[in-house]
Chain A
Amino acid sequence: MIGKLLPWLAAADVPRSKSNAVAVELTDVRKVYLTGAGEFVALKGIDLLVDNGEFLAVVGKSGNGKSTLINMVTGIDRPTSGEVWVAGTAVHTLTENQIAVWRGRTVGVVFQFFQLLPTLTVIENVMLPMDFCNVYDRAERPDRAMDLLNLVGVGDQANKVPASLSGGQQQRVAIARSLANDPPLLVADEPTGNLDPRTAEAVIELFRELTQGGKTILMVTHDEDLACCASRIVTVSEGRIARDGYGTVEL
């Protein structure tokens, strides 16, 4: 009904993406925050290219711009200047509403604090993105959600509410949810920050398996040991990329 009454509001058609594009391409991205203490420059001109199938770890000290960087990729935050291309879409040109729809289909987001909806069961949480973006047939969705839960190893918890699960289990559910619409790109902000080391390792292992299945993964972490499991490590320092290396990197 709203769509008919307020067409501009419901207009969320995302421009068609370029084909054969790289997973992520950032060109001279700057981000300036206005704070009570004046301007704060979080990103000072970032250039970054991520290929399809890469497992990229973004590391760096707290407050150096890691999260801001990947918020640019997910469209959660917008650059002050520069261009952000993700899977062939110019994210910096989209409206807030277009970003939401685009993100739902293209990017799976995993947060440090899981961010599951407390009033829905585990399986409902996983089905929610399919519902919002209206992908997959309605009848098909429960089966697909169940498959994803089995994939991340919490299939037996499907009908519980998030609060009754352990942290590791909740994060697995969050990962299953991020995979719901089969997005080519997964972005995770400190996904292991709230987990014990053993669970954290299991999550990283899961990510590795997913990249082998063809997904591109961007992960922010301050845990260098875990970062080493990635295929490429980007170090952010004071709003710039300080190091960018493939394979095992020693710091």
Chain B
Amino acid sequence: MNNYVRLSPRWRKVWSDIWGNKIRTLLVVLSISVGVFAVGMVYSSYLMFQRDLNISFVAASPANASLFTDPFDEELVESIRSLKDIKAAEGRRNVNLRIRAGDDQWRQMVLVAIPDYIKQKVNVVRHLSGAWPPGDGDVLLERSSVAALGVKQGDRITVETSTGRKRSVKVTGVVYDPSQTPSSFSGNYYGYISMDTLEKLDESRQLNQLNLVVEPAVLKDNDTTTIKDVGRQSWKKLEQGGAKVSWMQVNKPGEHQMQGAINALLLLLAVLGVLALLLGTFLLINTVSAILAQQVRQVGIMKSIGASRDQILRMYLSLVGAYGILSLVVAAPLGALAAQAVTGFISEMFNFDAGGLELPPRVVILEAVVAVLVPLMAALGPVWRGTGITVREALNDYGISAIRTKGWVDKMVDFGLGRLKKLPRPVLLSLRNTFRRKGRLALTLLTLTVAGTVFMAVFSVRTSLYSTLDQALDYFHYDVMIEFADSYRASRIEQAVLEVPGVKMVECWGRVSGRMLADERKESETEASKNVYIIAPPVKTQMINPQIIAGRWLLPDDENAAVVNTEVLKDNPQLKVGESAVIIVGNRKLRFTVVGVVQGILAGPIVYAPYEWLAGAVQEAGRARSVQLVADYQDAKEQSSLGRSIEEHLKKNSLRVKNVTITWEQKKLIRSQFDIITTFLLIMAVLLAVVGALGLAGTMGINVLERTREIGVMRAVGASSLDIGKVFVVEALCIGLLSWAAGMILAVPVAVMLSYQVGMLFLKNPLTFSFSFLGVGIWLVLSTMLAVMASLLPAWNAARLSVRDVLSYE
């Protein structure tokens, strides 16, 4: 009896509504949880991500600018360090060599030599285990390369030097280098060696990368002008010292070098969160309306025995609030766990340390708002209407609702169905039922349509990413590219390459980098300027497939002609076809006439110039620094092994090979990097599909409950269980197909927008848009399957009811 003193009967009723109908409670809690989960996951991964990235990032004291050059001596670093506004400057040496680990496979490895491991100040490499610093003849591996290579501490690695000799080094420890992209994503392996070891690998005791940190006092927020200034001064110093600079990379202060990709992922996460919340809310409005619809009679009874409207309002709002709290309890920990998984994934991708699981108070507060306030807002309308019903209306609710005055939608449906007279009657009933509750239908359709739209759009983004990649790689038609550490006579290179069986075609190109000046004035030389990369193929090259936007491609008589790509144009908007351009290469000022503009895709700023002219202009007439070739075979594996045998052959002929690039391997690598973002997109699409399916299942479940009496009537006039089940399955299918069609139409603009955003953030370039019909097909199959699955349980429930059950049902 004391029980009743603690909890009065009306709250017992609320309790029994929650506890007594577990399936319904589950459905409501699920629909709220989806939104809470998504919001919590997105927000806490955002926070955890920021926190962890920052810690790793600051600890590494990242460079503001890095210059990549020909080898230079350590003394040069000393003179740069004395430049104004430079806080720290450090040099290191990167060499890309072939190595062989435990298995017999040859791979490329980036070997980094740092003069002083103990006194590092920029892009700090941290010691994790084993020896420190690396001893003579030792190599320390970056942590992400250890597993990818499958080697243990104490194992030996064989390194093939640029002269073709084989040396053995011992793995003695593991380090962490936050500035490198992990092996699993970059496809590169990283080893850290001492300068002594570098010499033993047939390399000079010199550096080829300069990392700079600018005095924080002269930095203005995110402005990179000062950094570029300081970088350019260092560039000059290096070139005065005889080291040709090939590239300068400027990082925005405080921004990770992959900030664009990070922003793209965060954007996608945010879109996911908002959409899931939105769909969860639709679902909730439907479910709460349905609960109220089921309880009309009970509301009437309570009113008849003296309950006022605010008492009943309070009961139902408390019910919804209780669902919300329950959802919070379910979804908050799950959201935190998912956030940890997401952060872990991103940390592996961007090489930072993922910190521990955390559930910050502001995330919990946001989740609580989403879990309790959003459902209450969603429920307010239905509850207000439901409690406003008069006792007479409530008690007259027989469970078979009368057909209301027909609107234009009904007329259209009737007209449509009239033309389909041959359909069996139960199917007609399903179709008509579909349109009976227009509000509910609209919300269910909206939920499923949004899910479908995003799903199909995501597939299009994926296709667009791939077609952009294909287009970019279609630009260059060579299978293998080899870069040399020095320039060699072109005829010697060509001859050596053609001696290797399997080479179909070979071309020597000039490759050199420079700075594009704003104009020809002397003062411009010291002003801000942009990096460009000059590629000088033979004019009649068959390995470039340029997409000309304006002007023309290079012609045989061209002297100082230049074709620029759109990336160059973006950095230097003053350039026009027919006018001149000035590029500083080394200490030479080259004057070009721009003759054409071509599309640039994923290639950076490139200026194409005729080989003969450029080689002469940089005093390397008849010589080249790179060779590209087309293989006899189409097979990818054979192309790789061809690349390897050419490399060996060239080294035997004393040509110092700097780098070998196999086009298809490059393609595979970029594709796998693209897959990161498409995997993310797919997870997002699947989550939304789950919400959509939940919505449909909820709607069908409610429809069955609401039509229990109708089912009884059908049974009484001889409908079999199968007939009744079919009515609901066909109805769900109808909803599924409608949403598929609507989603398909909406998916086109959404996909265009999403591709553009992902392209701009991820690649700094819009993607080549391509609509995915595969996605449309998959969603058709999926939405059909979801519809059938979502309706099976309710249909089975409906078919199980006996006539007596349903006619006495209330």
Contact = CB atoms under 8 A, between A and B. Distances in A.
Given A76-B391, A142-B4, A181 B9 contact: no
Given A76-B392, A128-B10, A138-B5, A117 B298 contact: yes
Nearest to B6: A138
Interface stretch (A82-90, A102-110, A206-214, A225-233): A102-110
Interface in A1-40: 1-3, 6, 9-10, 12
Among B17, B304, B810, the one with the most A-chain Cβ atoms within 10 Å of its Cβ is: B304
B225 interface: no
B9 A115 contact: no
B12 interface: yes
Contacts of A143: 1
Contact of A133 (B16, B306, B309): B306
A104 B307 contact: yes
**Chain A CB within 10 Å, residue with most, of B8, B17, B305, B307:** B305
A219 interface: no
Majority SS at the chain B contact face: helix
Nearest to A78: B390
B804 interface: no
Interface stretch (B310-318, B589-597, B708-716): B310-318
Residue among A9, A105, A143 facing the most chain B CB atoms (10 A cut-off): A9
B764 interface: no
Contact of B305 (A9, A10, A128): A128
Task: Give the size range of B's interface with the partner.
Answer: 20 to 34
Interface in A88-145: 96-97, 100-101, 103-105, 109, 111, 113, 115-120, 123-125, 127-129, 131-133, 138-139, 141-143
Contact of A105 (B5, B8, B306, B390): B306
Contact of B307 (A100, A124, A127, A139): A100
B8 A138 contact: yes
Interface size class, chain A: 35 or more
B303 interface: yes
B306 A119 contact: no
A77 interface: yes
A177 interface: yes
A170 interface: no
A30 B704 CA distance: 40
B302 interface: yes
Contacts of A221: none
Contacts of B395: 76, 111, 115
A119 B306 CA distance: 18
A177 B9 CA distance: 13
A131 B16 contact: no
Interface in B180-213: none
B1 A120 contact: no
B810 A118 contact: yes
B308 interface: yes
Which secondary structure characterizes the binding site on chain A? helix
Given A6-B310, A127-B9, A96 B4 contact: no
A100 B308 contact: yes
Nearest to B307: A132
Contact of B9 (A1, A131, A139): A131
A120 B313 CA distance: 19
A96 B390 contact: yes
B310 A9 contact: yes
Which residue, A71, A96, A125, A181, has most C-beta atoms of chain B within 10 A?
Answer: A96
Contacts of B623: none
A91 B478 CA distance: 94
Interface in B27-62: none
Nearest to A109: B304
Nearest to A178: B305
Contact of A104 (B305, B310, B313): B305
A127 B4 contact: yes
Contacts of A138: 5, 8
B13 interface: yes
A3 B306 contact: no
B297 interface: yes
A74 interface: yes
Contacts of B303: 100
Contacts of A178: 305
Contact of A120 (B16, B297, B314, B810): B16
A3 to B, nearest CB: 7
Contacts of A127: 4, 8-9
Given A10-B310, A103-B304, A115-B297, A131 B8 contact: yes
Contacts of B427: none
Given A119-B20, A132-B311, A125 B306 contact: no
A156 B300 CA distance: 28
Contact of A119 (B1, B13, B305): B13
Contacts of B309: 9, 96-97, 100
A127 B391 CA distance: 20
A243 B297 CA distance: 34
Given A3-B310, A77-B392, A142 B305 contact: no
Contacts of B9: 120, 124-125, 127-128, 131
B301 A142 contact: no
A156 to B, nearest CB: 15
Contacts of B302: 117, 128, 132
Contacts of B13: 117, 119-120, 124, 128
Interface string B790-810: 000000000000000000001
Given A117-B13, A118-B810, A103 B306 contact: yes
A119 B17 contact: yes
Contacts of A139: 5
A129 B306 contact: yes
Interface string B286-308: 00000000000110111111111
Given A109-B305, A128-B13, A128-B305, 20 more contacts: A2-B310, A9-B309, A9-B313, A12-B308, A76-B304, A76-B392, A97-B309, A100-B303, A100-B309, A103-B304, A104-B306, A115-B297, A115-B300, A115-B304, A117-B13, A119-B16, A123-B4, A129-B305, A129-B306, A138-B5
Give the top 4 A-B pairs by smallest Cβ distance, nearest first: A104-B306, A119-B16, A124-B9, A132-B307
18 contacts: A2-B314, A3-B310, A9-B309, A12-B310, A76-B391, A76-B392, A97-B308, A100-B309, A101-B306, A101-B308, A103-B306, A115-B297, A115-B395, A123-B4, A124-B4, A127-B8, A131-B9, A132-B307
Interface of A: 1-3, 6, 9-10, 12, 71, 74, 76-77, 96-97, 100-101, 103-105, 109, 111, 113, 115-120, 123-125, 127-129, 131-133, 138-139, 141-143, 177-178, 180-181
Interface of B: 1, 4-5, 8-10, 12-13, 16-17, 20, 297-298, 300-311, 313-314, 388, 390-392, 395, 810
